[in-house]
Structures are given as C-alpha cells and as structure tokens.
C-alpha cells in the first residue's frame, strides 16, 4: 500500500505543477484581455454623449449647409430616426444615402420623408421606382420640420465627404469591430506574439541542449566502461546509479509536496468561492430571439434609440414594446419572433426578458453618470454588443473591476464647467499624475453604497 502511494507521488507532483502553470497563465491573461485589449477595439459608433438630449436643428430650411451646429443636430436626428433602416454608404433596409443631396432636390426630399406613401401614390416616377426596387417596403412617415430634414441632409453630405477621405473610418462599427480583422487588435497583439515566439525558441534551444548533454554523458560512460585500466573506486563511481527512491522517502520532499498540495487545494477552493455570484459570460436564452448583432451591428441603430434613458437615468431601461413597433409595424411583420411582440401587445402582457446584468441591491450604479458625464462607450462595459447574436455578460461586474477602472480612468473633464476648478487645483498641486476618477473621490464607499 505504502509503495503504491509513493510511486504515484511523482505523477501527482507533475499534475500539480501543470495545474499551477495553467491557473497562473490563465489569470495572467485575464487583465490583459479584459482591461487593455478590448477598450481600443470598441467602436466609436453612435454613443455621442448628449446627442439625443436636445439637438435643435440649426440649419436654415431649404439649403444644406456645412454649419457644424446643423451637422451635429442632423447627426442626432439621423441616429434617432433614420439609422435603423439607412446607412450612408451601405444598403441596409433602405438605400444608401450617400449623395442624396445630389440625387434628389430638397423640394422632393421633404415631402418624401414626411409621407413617402403619398409621394408614391401621386405617381412620382422616381418614387415608384425606389418603392419597387426595395421590395415595396414602405418608409414610415416622420413628423420633422423642414429645418430638421435639412440638417439631416447636411449631416449626410458631411459624412459622405468624410468617408470618401478615409474609407471605413466614419461608419465606425464595421471598421473597428471584429468582422474583418481589426488593425488595432492586431497591433495590440503584436508585441505579445513576438514574446511568445521568443519563449518557444528559447525552450526548444534548452531542450536540444539537455538532450545533447545526456547523449554526450552516455557516450562518455560507454567509452570509460570500455577501458580496462580502471580501479575499483573509479568503477564504483562509474556504476553509481542515482537512487530515486531516496527522493520520495525524504521527509523534506514529502513535506514540501504536502504543503504545496494543501496550498493548491486552498487556492482552488478560494477561487471557487470567490466566483460565486459572478456571472461573467452569463448568456441566458431570451423569450424573443432578439439579435443585437442585427440591430446594433448591421443596421447600426443607436443604442439610445431603444435604451432611451441611458443618457439621463440611472437605468438604461429595456425598451417597451411600443419602441419595437416603431419599425416592426412595417418591417418583418411575418417573422414568428416578431409575432411574439404582437401577441404581447394584444394580450397586454409585458415581455419578460431575462435580466443579464445583475448588480446586488447594495451597490448603486448610474448609467447617466458614466455615459453622459463620463463619456464612456457602452461597449467598454458591455463588450462587443454589436457582434452578439445573444447578449452575454461581458464584464465580471465585481467591485474590484469597478474600482480598478475608477483608479485608471482619467476623468472626462473636458468642456464640463463642473470640473474646471478641480482641474486647476489638480494641475497646480499634482500635475504629474493623471486626474483619475479615484483622485476625485471616485473610490469612496458612499459613492456607490448608500
């Protein structure tokens, strides 16, 4: 019995070593992937703070302008009203809008946007052509003022100019996300890859060295054995064999192994316990197979179009069925998934989504503080949502994760008069360090717990 245990010890040792190595490398990769890797890969699409707040159209009605205010207003209006069906350079549901100002005059565009079916019914040639070309899909009517429509067109004109200059840069998501290998991610991974190759080369060199040495030693021994002029002591030295049993009979080795074993078990159980309640990667099946990839990714619908209160409230709110109906009263009405929404409305039974991001009640989190004030992209915490067919919890949502970000992230103080004096104070006293969230008290208890 005893011998069996002893014989298995080396195997156990090996297994432990491997476990250690695996755990170590896994945890080493985590922060690299979580904190640094993804942030730059996140898209710059849409989530302009304040865009939805009150974008008053500034353009004079009738003529498109290059006025920055008009373009900004148009940007907000475009994302709020048009982006779910149109893109500048791509055909989404409706046609690509690049060059629209050249194609059609404003006097045609305004009645078309207000009430396209009326224009089609009037027998306008171009309108009928477009209508038939796009599967007789009717464009909903929009109650926009002339000035608003003009500012949208100004925005489109400005955007098409940009995209011509730097292809792919303006449309955000497509360029930055993972569908085509993004340049940023590649560059980011570059340095670590060369490190890996270097390591592998080193290991191979070492292995070759060891093998060579063993071969040399064996050859030397054989040569010596061949010689007859050796005395007893030399023969003894030559025939000396290393007694491995001594190793596992040694109390020191046993002690070390036992301690290591206990430590590993403790570490593993601690890790297990700490993971309780952490739902990173939680991806439940939702009652309706809603695809963020389709809506936010392909159709580039602004997050705030559905999550209406993300810039103003503590919660980003899950859209109510009437928001779905803005489009789906017309689009894909035959889909079985969308019929579920109709059913919910008919029966007056709200849709019961499965909640993915669950913060404990004792922690207070406010979306507006992070999006509107902090200027954080949705994807920073929610991950590449535009690629998710089914949404999963991307971040661990642990306190450590929150605190870490608060320690590292510089405050978004630009253009915010709230911070003016604080920035001055910081610069005079402590300009070497970045002015982070935590240096403004962002890691204090009662910022989140009350």
Partner 1 sequence: MQESPKYWKGIEELESSPEFIKNAFNEFDYLPVSESHGSSDATVAPRRDFLKLMGFGIAAATLASCETPVRKAIPYLNKPQEVDPGIANFYASSYFNGSEYNSVLVKTREGRPIKLEGNPNSPVTRGGLSARAQASVLSLYDQSRLQNFTIKGKAAERAQVDREIMTKLAGTTGRIAIVSPTIISPSTKRAIAAFAGRYANTEHVQYDANSQSGILRANGGVLPSFDFSKADIIVSLAADFLGTWISPVEYAAQYITNRKVSADKKTMSRHYQFEPYFSLTGSNADVRVPVKPSEMGAITVELYNAIVGGGTASPRVAKAANDLKAHRGRSLVVSGSNSAAEQTLVAAINAALGNVGASVNTATPSMLRQGDDARMLRLIDDMNRGTVGAVIFYHANPAYDHPQADKVKSGLAKVPLTISFNEKADETGSLCTYGCPDHHYLESWNDFEPRRGSLSLAQPAISPLFATRQAQDSLLTWAGSNQSYYNFLRENWRGVLGAGNFQAAWDKAVHDGVATGTASPAPTPQMAPAMSVDQAVAAIASAPKPSGTELVLYEKVAIGNGCDANNPWLQELPDPVSKATWGNYVAVPRKMAEANKWEQGDVLKVTANGKAIELPVLVQPGQPAGSVSIAIGYGREKAGKVGNKVGANAYPLATVRDNALVYMTGVTLEKTGATSPIAQTQTHHTIMDRKSVVQESTLAKYIENPKEVTEYDKIATPEGLEKPNKVSLWQDYEYKNHHWGMAIDLNSCIGCGSCVVGCQVENNVAVVGKQEVINRREMHWLRIDRYYSSDASKKDFATKGKLDTYAAMEDPSENPSVIFQPMLCQHCNHAPCETVCPVLATTHSSEGLNQMTYNRCVGTRYCANNCPYKVRRFNWFSYYSNEKFEDVNGHMFTDLGRMVLNPDVTVRARGVMEKCSFCVQRIQLGKLEAKKEKRRPMDGEVVTACAQSCPTQAIVFGDLRDPNSRVAQIWKREDGERAFKVIEAINAQPNITYLTKIRNVETKEVRNA
Question: Which residues contribute to the site for partner 1 (CB under 8 A)?
Answer: 276-277, 279, 282, 284, 308-309, 312-315, 317-323, 344-345, 348-355, 358, 361-362, 364, 366, 368-369, 372-373, 415-418, 422, 425, 440-441, 444-447, 449-450
Sequence-distant (≥ 6) Cβ neighbours of residue 156 within 8 angstroms: 74, 78, 88, 97, 98, 100, 101
Q: Are 400 and 363 in contact (CB under 8 A)?
A: no
What whole-number distance in Å separates Cα of residue 274 and Cα of residue 381? 21
Sequence-distant (≥ 6) Cβ neighbours of residue 49 within 8 angstroms: 311, 371, 372, 373, 375
| DSSP 8-state code for residue 338 | H
> 10 vs 15, 248, 344, CA distance in Å?
9, 8, 63
- On the CB side of 399, CA atoms within 13 Å amount to 12
| DSSP 8-state code for residue 39 | G
Q: Are 319 and 307 in contact (CB under 8 A)?
A: yes
How many other C-beta atoms can be found within 10 angstroms of the C-beta atom of residue 165?
Answer: 9
DSSP codes joined into one string, 62-108? TS----HHHHHHHHHHIIIIITTT--SSS-SSS---TTHHHHS-HHH
Specify the residue, 194 or 369, whose C-beta has the smaller distance to partner 1.
369
Burial letters for 324-339: b for 16+ Cβ neighbours within 10 Å, e otherwise? beebbeeeeeeeeebe
Specify the residue, 86 or 367, whose C-beta has the smaller distance to partner 1.
367
Specify the residue, 86 or 292, whose C-beta has the smaller distance to partner 1.
292
What whole-number distance in Å separates Cα of residue 437 and Cα of residue 196? 35
């Amino acid at each position: 019995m005893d011998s069996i245990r002893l014989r298995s010890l080396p195997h156990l040792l090996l297994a432990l070593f491997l476990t250690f190595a695996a755990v170590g490398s896994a945890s080493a990769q985590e922060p690299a992937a979580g904190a640094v890797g993804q942030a730059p890969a996140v898209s710059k699409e849409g989530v302009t703070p304040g865009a939805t707040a009150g974008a008053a159209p500034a353009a004079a009605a009738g003529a498109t302008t290059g006025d920055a205010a008009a373009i900004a207003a148009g940007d907000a209006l475009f994302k709020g009203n048009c982006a779910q069906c149109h893109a500048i350079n791509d055909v989404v549901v409706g046609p690509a809008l690049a060059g629209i100002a050249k194609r059609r005059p404003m006097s045609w565009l305004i009645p078309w946007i207000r009430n396209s079916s009326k224009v089609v019914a009037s027998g306008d040639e171009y309108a009928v052509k477009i209508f038939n070309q796009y599967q007789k899909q009717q464009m909903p009517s929009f109650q926009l003022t002339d000035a608003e429509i003009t500012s949208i067109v100004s925005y489109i004109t400005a955007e098409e100019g940009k995209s011509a200059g730097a292809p792919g840069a303006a449309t955000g998501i497509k360029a930055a996300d993972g569908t085509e290998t993004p340049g940023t991610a590649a560059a980011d991974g570059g340095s670590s890859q060369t490190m890996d190759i270097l390591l592998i080369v080193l290991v191979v060199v070492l292995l070759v060295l060891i093998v060579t040495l063993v071969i040399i030693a064996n050859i030397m021994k054989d040569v010596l054995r061949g010689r007859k002029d050796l005395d007893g002591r030399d023969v003894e030295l030559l025939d000396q064999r290393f007694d491995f049993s001594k190793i596992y009979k040694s109390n020191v080795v046993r002690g070390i192994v036992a301690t290591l074993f206990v430590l590993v078990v403790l570490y593993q159980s601690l890790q297990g316990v700490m993971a309780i309640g952490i739902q990173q990667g939680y991806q439940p099946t939702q009652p309706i197979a809603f695809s963020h990839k389709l809506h936010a990714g392909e159709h580039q619908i602004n997050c705030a179009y559905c999550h209406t209160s993300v810039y103003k409230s503590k919660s980003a709110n899950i859209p109510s069925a009437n928001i779905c109906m803005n489009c789906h009263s017309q689009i894909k009405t035959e889909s079985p998934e969308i019929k579920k929404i109709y059913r919910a409305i008919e029966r007056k039974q709200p849709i019961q989504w499965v909640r993915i991001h669950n913060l404990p009640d004792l922690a207070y989190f406010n979306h507006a503080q992070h999006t509107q004030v902090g200027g954080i992209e949705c994807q920073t915490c929610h991950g590449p949502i535009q690629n998710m067919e089914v949404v999963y919890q991307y971040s661990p949502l642990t306190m450590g994760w929150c605190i870490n970000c608060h320690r590292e992230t510089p405050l978004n103080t630009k253009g915010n008069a709230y911070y003016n004096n604080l920035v001055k104070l910081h610069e005079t006293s402590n300009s070497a360090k970045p002015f982070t969230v935590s240096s403004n008290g962002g890691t204090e208890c009662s910022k989140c717990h009350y």
